[in-house]
């Protein structure tokens, strides 16, 4: 465990993306980023984000660089709002220089907000002298982006929605992620990138519209609580088939809630369905492989690591224009020694 150096020095942290097997979809408090449902994810071992934060005495604004280019618009606003939160907790006003490098290839179609805000939470807390444990860092990362709360932890992580009627500080304290043990699962996630373009509607806006207008939202949220109970039991007994079946139905149900929103939110593309069909065929051929999709058309296929090459080959053939990546379980977010260079 790397300890923060002295407050005010540059601190660097690294975090990896995560993919939810039980989805986070819908907030009950936008400002505190409190979800409607518990969610459970696997942190990946690919595409880390490394973020450096250096308080800058005398500066009158934050300077934020993402992959070498100055951040602007909504991306800049979200990072500055996050730094404001850290500063208010630390009782400091110093602006900062933030430099974030994301290794997701441009256009890979994989979101970076989870790894990005997890790394930023760890680096910024250290740079401003906040001594927070992993639970408190998870709560803090949540304020940047909900799914970032889960990237604090390696392997499988459960993000608690928290007590539904709590408000203010109690509500904030109740919603954080924690690691979930999973015995001998040896999983792989094969990621079929069928469309790397920007999405037509942000997940933030899409989940808001779904909660506000979809008659399927509440039934899905209720069934998701049962999915989570079953998922935890399946992880405990290292039953990949059950984990996959539960993840697949949970994700399809989430997409059903969006399809029933008014107007509908549809992320699934023709190529998505072609990949889903190819995975059904794999199952008929005796390979345990199960799909999950997030706020986009790309498909993640959960399978045994020993089957990952065969699964990758199948989905590559099913979506010839796309690209295919294979990931395993990855580590939690951590502070890097020195400035991380």
Residues that bind ligand 2P0 (CB under 6 A): 20, 23-25, 33, 39, 111, 113, 145-147, 203-204, 294-295
Query: Among candidates 59, 125, 58, which has minimal Cα distance to 88?
Result: 125
Q: What are phi and psi of 173, to 5 degrees?
A: -65, -30
Question: In whole angstroms, how close is the CB of 276 to ligand 2P0 at the nearest point?
Answer: 16
Q: Looking at beta carbons only, is 41 or 314 nearer to ligand 2P0?
A: 41
Q: Looking at beta carbons only, is 102 or 147 nearer to ligand 2P0?
A: 147
Question: In whole angstroms, how close is the CB of 202 to ligand 2P0 at the nearest point?
Answer: 8
Q: Judge contact between 315 and 117, C-beta under 8 A.
A: no
Q: Looking at beta carbons only, is 191 or 282 nearer to ligand 2P0?
A: 191
Measured distance CA(328)–CA(43) in Å, rounded: 8
Q: Looking at beta carbons only, is 178 or 340 nearer to ligand 2P0?
A: 178
What's the order of all strands across the beta sheet hosting 18-22? 18-22, 39-43, 156-159, 177-180
Q: Is 154 helix (H, G, I), strand (E, B) or coil?
A: coil
Q: Looking at beta carbons only, is 10 or 159 nearer to ligand 2P0?
A: 159
Q: What are phi and psi of 263, to 5 degrees?
A: -70, 160
Question: In whole angstroms, how close is the CB of 271 to ligand 2P0 at the nearest point?
Answer: 18
Question: In whole angstroms, how close is the CB of 295 to ligand 2P0 at the nearest point?
Answer: 4
Q: Which two tokens stand for residue 73?
A: 């618009």
Query: In the bound complex, which residue of the shown chain has the CB atom lying closest to ligand 2P0?
Result: 146
Question: In whole angstroms, how close is the CB of 171 to ligand 2P0 at the nearest point?
Answer: 15
Angle between helices 73-90 and 113-127 (to 10 degrees): 30
Question: In whole angstroms, how close is the CB of 7 to ligand 2P0 at the nearest point?
Answer: 28
Angle formed at CA 225 by CA 223 and CA 230, multiple of 5 degrees? 95
Measured distance CA(206)–CA(150) in Å, rounded: 20
Q: Looking at beta carbons only, is 50 or 147 nearer to ligand 2P0?
A: 147
């Amino acid at each position: 465990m790397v300890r923060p150096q002295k407050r005010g020095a540059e601190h660097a942290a690294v975090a990896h993306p995560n993919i939810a097997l039980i989805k986070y979809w819908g907030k009950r408090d936008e400002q505190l980023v409190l979800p409607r449902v518990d969610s459970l994810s696997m942190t990946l071992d690919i595409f880390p984000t490394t973020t450096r934060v250096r308080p800058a005495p005398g500066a009158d604004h934050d300077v934020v660089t993402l992959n070498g280019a100055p951040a602007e618009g909504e991306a800049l606003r979200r990072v500055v709002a996050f730094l404001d939160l850290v500063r208010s907790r630390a009782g400091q006003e110093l602006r900062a220089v933030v430099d974030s490098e994301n290794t997701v290839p441009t256009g890979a179609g994989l979101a970076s907000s989870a790894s990005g805000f997890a790394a930023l939470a760890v680096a910024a807390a250290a740079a401003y002298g906040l001594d927070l444990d992993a639970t408190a860092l998870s709560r803090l990362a949540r304020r940047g982006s909900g799914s970032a709360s889960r990237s604090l932890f390696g392997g499988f992580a459960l993000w608690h929605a928290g007590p539904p009627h709590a408000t203010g500080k109690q509500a904030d304290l109740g919603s954080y992620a924690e690691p979930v043990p999973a015995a001998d699962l040896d999983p792989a996630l094969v990621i079929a990138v069928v469309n790397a373009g920007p999405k037509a509607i942000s997940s933030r806006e899409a989940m808001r519209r779904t909660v506000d207008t979809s008659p399927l939202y509440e039934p899905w949220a209720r069934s998701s609580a049962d999915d989570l109970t079953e998922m935890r039991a399946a992880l405990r007994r290292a039953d990949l088939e059950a984990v996959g079946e539960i993840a697949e139905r949970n994700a399809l149900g989430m997409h059903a809630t969006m399809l029933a929103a008014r107007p509908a939110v549809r992320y699934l593309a023709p190529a998505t369905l072609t990949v889903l069909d190819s995975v059904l065929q794999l199952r008929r051929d005796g390979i345990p492989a199960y799909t999950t999709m997030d706020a986009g058309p790309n498909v993640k296929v959960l399978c045994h690591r020993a089957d990952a090459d065969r699964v990758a080959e199948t989905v590559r053939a099913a979506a010839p224009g796309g690209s295919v990546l294979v990931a395993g379980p990855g580590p939690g977010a951590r502070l890097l020694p020195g400035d991380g260079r």
